Amino acid sequence: MKIHKSIKRALGYKANEIDEKILDDWKKRKSELCKPCWELKYCPYGPLIEDFPLLPITKQEAKEHLSYLKKCLETRVLGNGKKLDIQRKKIFEEQIEFFTSEDHPDKIAKEFLEGSCKVFGHICPVFFVAEPLTETIERRKHSRSISREVMLKVIRRDGQICQKCNEPVLDGDVEFDHVIPYSKGGESTMENLKLKHRNCNRQKSDSLKEILHPNPIEHLFELRKKKSK
């Protein structure tokens, strides 16, 4: 897939950089690191994430937004039912006047989309600023190989029961599933591994459905409800 100039700009690459090199570089970043909120269960960047870029919207999304702006100008009413004010009217007219569909990509590669925060939309800072440094003796274990010690700990912890189908796992059918997939930066540690049957493990591929909420914004509303009680 050809990488649109707006995507290159958002990710900090020059417009003339070769697409294959950009994709390889981004894949390497995403495989060696994972979003910290997946492991920490909170975002360590907070408001700072707003200083990082947003991916552009696609050409189809841009056209749909253009149609919305035109409808607002025609009806003098916003999508939420409120009256269109003079300031927004001027902004909408300027956006329509200077709209060019070629400024937007037809599609955005999955590798880039997966780097965006599902809550705020901005590209996660970890892929720009993280360094492979730590104050601890133990370094990040990003490798497919799993030590025998870790294997035995996972088997004991899970009671040699498949964490997918809850049936006993014979010795010859043992496999270990990365909760955060290796391809997404997941480590080969006890905390990130589950015991599964071979067939049960092969059904998952590198999906994140088991750990990611389909609508992360709901977490915010759930938290607010708890605080209000």
- Asked whether residue 136 is domain-assigned, the answer is no
Determine the pLDDT at residue 229: 66
For residue 112, the number of C-alpha atoms closer than 13 Å in the C-beta half-sphere is 25
* 148 and 174 housed in the same domain: yes
* 114 and 210 housed in the same domain: no
- Asked whether residue 137 is domain-assigned, the answer is no
* 18 and 123 housed in the same domain: yes
* 181 and 191 housed in the same domain: yes
Instruction: Please enumerate in sequence order all residues whose Cβ is within 8 A of that of 76, keeping only pairs 6 or more positions apart, or say none.
Output: 83, 84
Determine the pLDDT at residue 24: 92
Q: How many domains does the chain have?
A: 3
* 93 and 178 housed in the same domain: no
Residue 215 has pLDDT above 90, yes or no: no
What sign for the dihedral angle of Cα 33, 37, 41, 47?
positive
pTM score > 0.85 for this model?
Answer: no
* 74 and 180 housed in the same domain: no
d(CA 193, CA 151) in angstroms, rounded, equals: 9
Q: Write down the number of H helices and E strands in the chain.
A: 10, 2
DSSP helix, strand, coil percent of the chain (3-state; round to 5)? 45, 10, 45
Collapsing DSSP to helix, strand or coil, 161 comes out as strand
Q: What is the pLDDT of residues 85-141, one digit of tens each?
A: 999 999 999 999 999 999 999 999 988 999 999 888 999 999 998 877 788 888 777
* 13 and 120 housed in the same domain: yes
Q: What is the pLDDT of residues 40-90, one digit of tens each?
A: 888 999 899 999 999 999 999 999 999 999 999 999 999 999 999 999 999
- Asked whether residue 25 is domain-assigned, the answer is yes
Determine the pLDDT at residue 95: 96
- Asked whether residue 90 is domain-assigned, the answer is yes
* 110 and 42 housed in the same domain: yes
Which of 95, 129, 163 is a domain's end point? 129
Q: Can you give the residue range of the structural domain that contains 95? A: 59-103
Determine the pLDDT at residue 104: 96
% of the chain surpassing 90 pLDDT: 66
Determine the pLDDT at residue 143: 80
* 117 and 14 housed in the same domain: yes
Determine the pLDDT at residue 182: 87
Q: What is the pLDDT of residues 149-188, one digit of tens each?
A: 999 999 999 999 999 999 999 999 999 999 998 888 888 9
Determine the pLDDT at residue 89: 95
Instruction: Please enumerate in sequence order all residues whose Cβ is within 8 A of that of 135, keeping only pairs 6 or more positions apart, or say none.
Output: none
d(CA 6, CA 11) in angstroms, rounded, equals: 9
* 164 and 67 housed in the same domain: no
